[in-house]
Structure 1
Amino acid sequence: MNRVLPAVFVLALSAPAFGQTVDGEGAKQLSENLSRYIGSKAIDSGFLKVSVEGDAYKLAVDFKPVVNLLATQHSFKFDFSPYAFLVKPSSNGTWNVSADLSPSGSFEFMGPEGPQSMQFSIKDSKFTGVFDTELAAFTSATQSMAGMTMNSQDAMQRAKVSTGAGIATMSATKAANGGVDFTATQTVADFAETLDFDDAKSGLKFPLTIKSPELSVNATGKGMRTKPFLDLLAFAVANEDEAKLKANQAQLKSLLLAALPLWERIDGSYGFKDVIVESPVGHFGATELGTSFGTDGIAQNGAVNYTIKAAGLTIPQNLVPAWGTALLPTDINLNFGGANIDLDSMAKKAIEAFDLNKNPPLPADFGDRIKADFMAKTPKFVIGH
């Protein structure tokens, strides 16, 4: 949630700024730019309002129209506090974006096992960034918060999550082969999660608490096709009508091909320090615990990689006899994934073959043909040492 808040304004800032005069006409133009990606109804309903505030534009989001729509059409309750960003045009075509946020929200719905609900609150969140219209990305951005709380509940468990202060940064540059290269980091202090399991069917009932003084998230990407993604979104909004979509499917195919390979490579990691897990049988711990994931885009010879790492593992002393303690691992490093994965041929053949005027859009034997082609390239499952 802490990172998603600025995303809607990426759409609004799709047109270059070039030091334009901030006035009512510019506010109208920003509204029109945004309607291309979220539809004019969202603007007309008041979901988003663009106004002039000093030497910047105020982009205010109010979820009340969405809440009212959901309340009348579905058994789904949703609430989200309004928030706003200030965007200021600069002479080089970029936008300076800033905001002071303290968003909160909740939702309730009926799941397959019964009612489910969630409430969250983020305290004193601040955002600053520079958005480059040519890249369709923030070349630099920083977001901080004083803390976060979240409570959720379903038929089998209740969860309470809280964190202390956190900070996130992001940067992006033009990629050599098209698209955007980016890096993103986030560090959050004092992570705590309390889980209370109570499964009436199985009789399983126990509490669990996870604590860590530091949670970190890191991500890097190469060749992210940000511009083609926005073009696809604009196409979807402009062709909501089924008949219009079918008539313009040639354009859709062209846009899909332009978006390939989606990205060249994305890697990310998620880690805790000095983790303590409190359970009814005692305390488990680790000085470091984390996972990492990496994947190529839609490539002819792609790879996917997973890693699970743990260091300084400890378990409750009463779980094993004293002589068995020395036999337990204290460090774990698991590496596995896939290689020689051809998704490029599959994607291009699917784009070429589909016809929205037919039901189903793809030939009946298409799945079997794609499967045979995929396996003929001998994809591999790889386990590291």
Structure 2
Amino acid sequence: MAEAEPYVLAIDAGTTGVRCRAVFQDDRQSIASYQEFTQYFPEPGWVEHDAEEIWRAVVATFNDVVKQAGLPRAIGITNQRETVVAWNRRTGEMYGRAIVWQDRRTAQHCQDLDHAGHLATVRALTGLVLDPYFSGTKMSWMLQHGVPRSPDLALATIDTWLLWKLTDGVVFATDPSNASRTMLFDITTLTWSPTMSEILGVPLEYLAEVRPSSGRFGITATSELPLGIAISGIAGDQQAALFGQACFDNGMAKNTYGTGSFILMNVGDSCPPASQGLLTTVAWSIKNSDGTVTTAYALEGAIFVTGAAVQWLRDALGIITSSDEIGPLAESVADNGGVFVVPAFTGLGSPWWDPYARGTVVGITRGTTRAHIARAVVEAMALQTRDAIEAMSTASGQTIAELRV
């Protein structure tokens, strides 16, 4: 193998596309390659991806970066978190499309679990709430709708799928930041929970091995990519953003604006009880040189629709033709003209957690223009963010002095 260049190749498998980026150790500007993949909406409230198409996007963008930058010294993976893939680890056969984090098909299952009295257990063990956002009920749905149960079945998040493909089926693993989004992971013991396995009806043998976020997971072994490159880190996209924006100390917070918005606040090595409609999640775990593992936790406010509302203005309503137009259009009017938008296209997340909420536009008059609607959409992003931040301050007892975006 040719000598590696001084950079890490980051694979970012997001909700709408894959970006691979070369991050150099010296002062060279990073090099990136991006490729979108298809969004499938087979029924109202359902959102699916083709995991093989995601993999092909990884291969294309990875090789494009390597062509420009040379071979990397290591690879890191970050990913959309709660999306679930099912496949056969022996044959590689896919069992349908991936069910995406935005998918709402398990809303009734979550409601049934709530009525059965399981919410307190879910909160205490996993730090989450009973919402179809998380992986556990998606896995349960798959098992109830044709995914064959066998010792070779894999039920996993996108990071695990990509790691398995990168290593040519050798490594089946995940990290705590992703595992903590499944509703099957005990965030105190940092192990899969037999109690949650029983509640959700998802056998633990179908789940990946959990390893620290930072550490050697394996090496590339697929003929589609350069061989022998170390895969040295995995983290869910929002936790990776918390780390990447240098929120290393207790009380530091960030907000990432993408398809949705996700506000995370570092709460150190404590594991606070989930409250105020927020989530408690694992931020990351790092294996130290002496073999010990340091784990950091975070409070999270999850807002399902922010950037997706801009896409809605562009693709569904035709109010704008490019996402870049939203800012100037919203600023072209002094206020929203009495128009308010609640972009609950896939329910409401923090702090409300209502999977049945639906989008609303109110206050329209004969004087309403497309600029008023655009401004109302932008203001909806800010108002949802404020709701989550106020809940976070109440839950933590700390005022967020700085929000990194």
TM-score, normalised relative to structure 2: 0.25
TM-score, normalised relative to structure 1: 0.26
Give the structure with higher Rg (CA): 1
Q: Which has the higher strand share?
A: 1
Q: Say which structure, 1 or 2, has more relative contact order (CA 8 Å, 6+ apart).
A: 2
Q: Which has the higher helix share?
A: 2
